[in-house]
Chains A and B, each alone.
Chain A
Amino acid sequence: MSVRNATYKPWAWTQSLFADGNILRLFIACVAIFVGMSILKPDVFPTAENFLSMGSQFPEIGILAMAIMITMLTGGIDLSVVSIANLSGVLAALVIRALIPADAEAGQVMMGLAAAITAAFLSGALAGLINGALVAYVNLTPILATLGTMTLYTGLTVAMTRGNAVFAENRLVFIGNTNVLGFIPIPLIIFAVVVALFALLLNRTPFGVKVYMIGSNINAARFSGINVRRVLLTTYIISGLLAAVVAVIFLGRNNSAKWDFAPSYVLQAIVVAVLAGVNPSGGSGRVLGIVLAILALQFVSTGMNMLLFTISGGQFFKEFAWGALLLTIMVANHLSEQRRSKSARRPKAE
């Protein structure tokens, strides 16, 4: 026991935190944008209303980015996340319509909502299972497999709804409308819980470590006796489950689900993951990076909106701002990487 205490430093993670240049740069970017915007727009940016509004905007993309992240960590990707979210959302809405009559009492409503959410999660998991099976057992390239299932799930949703939106009878709008304690939107709480669980899963379970190892060297993972197929399968199921969480938030915000909702979120989630420093070829990336990346992007887009509000069309600068931030951080990372590898050409390499 004493040996353990002597060698294990619980605070050691803080060192690696700042040794990780990308996290540090993201953190600086977050603070800089926040401070900058607060100075430029002191009357609207650092205000409770603004925080409330920002806090209700990013959770969906943040959660989708975690789905992208976990698949990227294994060296794959899941392009079908938004189509899974729409499919699960439609199913949940259909369950609500079927089980909760307009004059339902509280108990019936609870049961109905539980069934609807279960339906969303089951369909998310099943869709993820199909993705995982295609990647792990049929050995399709993840980007192609999930491109295919993306179309498949979207098509299924269209067919089920004949292309119409399905309304959730105002049963879930409390998620989008309630602020806990008056200032914390429920989607933000869901986001925080998902972040915490996701971080535990990746850092403190054998499964999480195996995800990183597979992304780092899938061959060595096989030779080390990791059941690579099972880990990959689980990875895509988790991605599907995260999409199902997003489906519930979608329903809470829109009170309806539709096959073509928010298709641009896939690419935006990828932007967040890449900005967070997740290596698209696998093996590295941190949950904290996702949190910082989504915050930085949210600050930038809100700030841009405020700055350009007076110019006509100013509110359409969100994508532009995201692209600019992504490129800035990428270039900074690249330059520091170059500098480091230059100075690292030291005796080790002989």
Chain B
Amino acid sequence: MADAFLSLSHISKSYAGVQALDDVSLIVKPAEIHCLVGENGSGKSTLIKIIAGVVSPDEGQIVINGKPFPRLAPMDAIREGIQVIYQDFSLFPNLTVAENIALNYELSRNTRIVRWGEVRRLAQAALDKIGVRLPLDAEVESIPVADKQLVAIARALVQNARLIIMDEATTALTEKEIRALFGVIRNVQRDGVAVLFVSHKLNEVLEIADKAMIIRNGKVVVDADAAALDRNKLVYYMTGRRIDEADYDYVPQSKQPLLEVSHLSSPGNFEDISFSLYPGEIVGVTGLLGSGRTELALSLFGVLPAMRGEVRIDGQLVRIRDIQSAIRHGIGYVPEDRLTEGLFLDQSINRNIVIRTIDTLRQAGGLLSPARLEAHAREWINNLSIKTSNPELPVKSLSGGNQQRVVLAKWLASKPRILILNGPTVGVDVGSKTELHEIIKSLAGEGIGILVISDDIPELLHLCNRILLMRRGRLAGMFERAVLDENKLTTLLTESTTIGSAVPSPQVQ
């Protein structure tokens, strides 16, 4: 045990009678990549906070570098080399890359003069160590999410990290960026730094981890070598149930396409996109970040009106100039970022659900009927099994999966005929994800045409009967699900070859 960097034994913590952690033990050795896996609410974050010294456990011991810490303070944790990279990275958006990486360290020397040359030197050294190149003078708000993460890692290294804890590090990243991140993590590992990787994306866990610990409802379910686990086992341990996901079975319902897009272009975003969507179909749109997939969705929803090309709904030519006209034509859009685009976090669950249809909930006299409003919201809370004790609570009181259902409910309440789902299960735990998939499949079964924009490959293969692949703003291929499997789609997605090269695409238009 002497060689363990961090050793937690028999940690318990409860909040107001709710047991968040129950007898959890964890050992992390230097240069070990450890994964902590669990659904939302399983106690992962509490455990991280205990390691960081932000929360103190009710019971149990914390030993770092052989030193016991009966009351670990945040400064102790930092001094011992524990660095946490939270989901939002806690960077200063208005400062440069170099400043973000090294300023903190430079300031901690307690001198009155900042040595800017030293700041740049430190920053560059840290970036070299993890083997990435970033513009030192770029403001952090102007660089992509994946790069922000690298800045956060470099900052941790400058502060002499011995253990870097990464909380849901991959949520906002594409497959390719995740690969790059894993490369960086392995570089860090080579320097003897341990990494505790917190995630609920299963395939990642298996790929990067030396060891994996799964917790559920605050208890350790499994703590094992990653090599001993496979995807099904992980799902089983995480959710406590086996998930047999039946792929969506598309039954053609009509010969008339619901949506026909022809030669749609928005210069700088996407060019010459043509496809059609039939009632009851779930069509996937995938591609890397910057491939134009989100822009295409925004264009169909009127946020980013297309410059050229045609859109037909039920064979009728329509012009989608703005969001209102998209809605009039029966198009709904569940955005990629539900926090900034989908939800009114401080408002009640009820209001979040009814906001689309609120104009129809008036009584004679023109005033809103609170009873009808509540009944209407309740109907959707029941339909989508949104778990809440009181629908008057703010929507931010819900878990990620339930929040996503609220966004979905908002759109379903207005009876859309075409539903565009951008990253429908991003940041949602495995159990909820499966239930969301079931909801999406049954909606399609009722005749709604659904476009799913995602780079979650198992999800695409599970939901969609056809998948469109976009690359640099163009349609690079259209595939029936039958001809695809995970490996093939991964290769297609990450392939950086130019359009028109030898891509095995039987159905290219």
Within 8 A of A (CB), among B1-25: 15-16, 18, 20
The answer to whether B274 has its CB under 8 Å from any CB of chain A is no
Contacts of B324 in A (CB 8 A): 225, 227
From B18, B346, B361, B410, give the contact of A206 (CB < 8 A): B361
Whether A209 and B358, one on each chain, are in contact in the complex, defined by CB atoms closer than 8 angstroms, is yes
Q: Which single residue of chain B is at the shortest CB-CB distance from A343?
A: B16
Q: Which single residue of chain B is at the shortest CB-CB distance from A282?
A: B346
Measured CA separation A178–B106 after assembly (Å): 72
Measured CA separation A346–B49 after assembly (Å): 12
Within 8 A of B (CB), among A224-248: 224-227
Measured CA separation A220–B396 after assembly (Å): 14
Whether B344 and A220, one on each chain, are in contact in the complex, defined by CB atoms closer than 8 angstroms, is yes
The answer to whether B269 has its CB under 8 Å from any CB of chain A is no
Chain A contact residues: over half helix, strand or loop, or mixed?
Answer: helix
Measured CA separation A220–B333 after assembly (Å): 11
The answer to whether A283 has its CB under 8 Å from any CB of chain B is yes
Whether A217 and B375, one on each chain, are in contact in the complex, defined by CB atoms closer than 8 angstroms, is no
Measured CA separation A217–B337 after assembly (Å): 13
A200 and B343 contact, Cβ closer than 8 Å, known pairs A16-B392, A224-B355, A347-B18: no
A350 and B370 contact, Cβ closer than 8 Å, known pairs A219-B340, A223-B342, A225-B324: no
Measured CA separation A8–B377 after assembly (Å): 12
Whether B397 and A348, one on each chain, are in contact in the complex, defined by CB atoms closer than 8 angstroms, is yes
Interface centre among B343, B347, B361, B366, by most chain A C-beta atoms within 10 angstroms, is: B347
The answer to whether A30 has its CB under 8 Å from any CB of chain B is no
Q: Say how far A226's CB is from chain B's closest CB, in angstroms.
A: 7
From A209, A225, A284, A348, give the contact of B368 (CB < 8 A): A209
Contacts of B346 in A (CB 8 A): 216, 283-284
From B16, B355, B366, B374, give the contact of A7 (CB < 8 A): B374
The answer to whether A138 has its CB under 8 Å from any CB of chain B is no
Q: Which single residue of chain A is at the shortest CB-CB distance from B368?
A: A204
Whether B351 and A209, one on each chain, are in contact in the complex, defined by CB atoms closer than 8 angstroms, is yes
- Interface residue tally on B, bucketed by range: 35 or more
Interface segment, one of B39-47, B224-232, B235-243? B39-47
Chain B contact residues: over half helix, strand or loop, or mixed?
Answer: mixed
Whether B347 and A283, one on each chain, are in contact in the complex, defined by CB atoms closer than 8 angstroms, is yes
Whether A223 and B335, one on each chain, are in contact in the complex, defined by CB atoms closer than 8 angstroms, is yes
Contacts of B15 in A (CB 8 A): 345-347
The answer to whether A339 has its CB under 8 Å from any CB of chain B is no
Q: Say how far B46's CB is from chain A's closest CB, in angstroms.
A: 6
Contacts of B63 in A (CB 8 A): none
Q: Say how far B338's CB is from chain A's closest CB, in angstroms.
A: 9
Q: Which single residue of chain B is at the shortest CB-CB distance from A212?
A: B347
Measured CA separation A48–B42 after assembly (Å): 62
From B355, B367, B375, give the contact of A8 (CB < 8 A): B375
Whether A206 and B374, one on each chain, are in contact in the complex, defined by CB atoms closer than 8 angstroms, is no
Q: Which single residue of chain A is at the shortest CB-CB distance from B335?
A: A223
Whether A223 and B372, one on each chain, are in contact in the complex, defined by CB atoms closer than 8 angstroms, is no
Whether A346 and B16, one on each chain, are in contact in the complex, defined by CB atoms closer than 8 angstroms, is yes
Measured CA separation A347–B40 after assembly (Å): 10
The number of A-B residue pairs with CB atoms under 8 Å apart is 104
Contacts of B42 in A (CB 8 A): 350
Measured CA separation A162–B461 after assembly (Å): 76
Q: Say how far B65's CB is from chain A's closest CB, in angstroms.
A: 28
Measured CA separation A345–B14 after assembly (Å): 11
Contacts of A221 in B (CB 8 A): 344, 355
Whether B362 and A206, one on each chain, are in contact in the complex, defined by CB atoms closer than 8 angstroms, is yes
The answer to whether B136 has its CB under 8 Å from any CB of chain A is no
The answer to whether B399 has its CB under 8 Å from any CB of chain A is yes
The answer to whether B327 has its CB under 8 Å from any CB of chain A is yes
The answer to whether A341 has its CB under 8 Å from any CB of chain B is no
The answer to whether A116 has its CB under 8 Å from any CB of chain B is no
Q: Say how far A340's CB is from chain B's closest CB, in angstroms.
A: 13
Q: Which single residue of chain A is at the shortest CB-CB distance from B429?
A: A350
Contacts of A284 in B (CB 8 A): 346
Measured CA separation A217–B372 after assembly (Å): 24
Contacts of B335 in A (CB 8 A): 223
The answer to whether B341 has its CB under 8 Å from any CB of chain A is yes
From A205, A220, A222, give the contact of B366 (CB < 8 A): A205
Contacts of A212 in B (CB 8 A): 347, 351
A216 and B345 contact, Cβ closer than 8 Å, known pairs A7-B374, A350-B45: yes
The answer to whether B244 has its CB under 8 Å from any CB of chain A is no
Contacts of A223 in B (CB 8 A): 303, 323, 333, 335, 341-342
Q: Say how far A9's CB is from chain B's closest CB, in angstroms.
A: 9
Measured CA separation A114–B499 after assembly (Å): 73
Contacts of A226 in B (CB 8 A): 355
Contacts of A346 in B (CB 8 A): 15-16, 18, 20
Q: Say how far B328's CB is from chain A's closest CB, in angstroms.
A: 9
Whether A205 and B41, one on each chain, are in contact in the complex, defined by CB atoms closer than 8 angstroms, is no
Contacts of B342 in A (CB 8 A): 220, 223
Q: Which single residue of chain B is at the shortest CB-CB distance from A279?
A: B346
Interface 1/0s, chain A 10-23, versus B by CB < 8 A?
00100010000000
Q: Which single residue of chain B is at the shortest CB-CB distance from A226?
A: B355
The answer to whether B378 has its CB under 8 Å from any CB of chain A is yes
The answer to whether A171 has its CB under 8 Å from any CB of chain B is no
Measured CA separation A61–B355 after assembly (Å): 32
The answer to whether A213 has its CB under 8 Å from any CB of chain B is yes
Measured CA separation A224–B343 after assembly (Å): 9
Q: Say how far A329's CB is from chain B's closest CB, in angstroms.
A: 20
Contacts of A343 in B (CB 8 A): 16
Q: Say how far B395's CB is from chain A's closest CB, in angstroms.
A: 10
Q: Which single residue of chain B is at the shortest CB-CB distance from A227?
A: B324
Measured CA separation A93–B347 after assembly (Å): 44
The answer to whether B502 has its CB under 8 Å from any CB of chain A is no
Interface centre among A3, A8, A210, A227, by most chain B C-beta atoms within 10 angstroms, is: A8
B interface vs A, CB < 8 Å?
15-16, 18, 20, 40-46, 303, 323-324, 327, 333, 335, 340-347, 351, 355-356, 358-359, 361-362, 366-368, 370-372, 374-375, 378, 392, 397, 399, 410, 414
Q: Which 9 A-B pairs have the closest CB atoms?
A: A8-B371, A216-B344, A350-B45, A346-B15, A204-B367, A206-B358, A225-B327, A347-B18, A223-B341
Contacts A210-B358, A223-B341, A350-B42 aside, 6 further interface pairs with beta carbons under 8 A come to: A212-B347, A220-B344, A222-B303, A223-B303, A346-B18, A347-B15
A interface vs B, CB < 8 Å?
3-5, 7-8, 12, 16, 200, 203-206, 209-210, 212-213, 216-217, 219-227, 283-284, 343, 345-350
A-B contact pairs, 9 of them (CB 8 A): A205-B362, A206-B358, A209-B368, A210-B355, A212-B351, A216-B347, A220-B340, A223-B333, A350-B44
